[in-house]
Structure 1
Amino acid sequence: MKQAQINEATTVELQEEFASAKKLYSDLKMAHTISPLENPIQLRNHRRSIARIATELTKRDVQ
């Protein structure tokens, strides 16, 4: 998810996206453990996307 999309999304949408992104990352990580992924860079991309969403949620909670 791009930063512009994260900024425009509501808090509820971000929480839903956060949960689904963590689930997808977990599934990819497990699949990569069993047999190497064709594109292992997607693990890094998903991890960074999760971090972006988590940062935005934390920022909204503080304000």
Structure 2
Amino acid sequence: MKIAEVRELSDKELLERLDAERIALTQMKLNHSVSPLDSSADIKKKRRDIARFLTELRQRGIKK
């Protein structure tokens, strides 16, 4: 997800997506430990998306 797309989300949507991404990341890590994923780069993408969400939430908190 691009940062421009993240900025368009409302605070509520951002928090919901953050929770969903964290759950998905945990599930991917568990699946990867049992049997290797086809692309372990997907884990890296999830971590970066989570960081983007947290960064945007932090920036919005500072502006208020």
User: Normalising by the residue count of structure 2, what TM-score does the alignment of the two structures yield?
Assistant: 0.94
Q: In the alignment, which residue of structure 2 is the partner of 1:49?
A: 49
**SS of 2:36's equivalent?**
coil
Q: In the alignment, which residue of structure 2 is the partner of 1:34?
A: 34
Structure 1 residue 13 displacement after superposition:
0.5
Asked if residue 6 in structure 1 is aligned to residue 6 in structure 2, the reply is yes
How many residue pairs end up in the alignment?
Answer: 63
Q: In the alignment, which residue of structure 2 is the partner of 1:19?
A: 19
Give the letter for the 2:10 counterpart: T
Runs of 4+ off more than 3 Å: none
Identity of aligned residues (%): 33
Question: What whole-Å deviation, never above 9, does each CA across 1:35-58 have from its counterpart, x for those lacking one?
Answer: 100111000000000000000011
RMSD: 0.6
Give the letter for the 2:2 counterpart: K
Structure 1: runs of 5+ lacking an equivalent: none
CA distance in 2, matches of 1:38, 1:10: 33
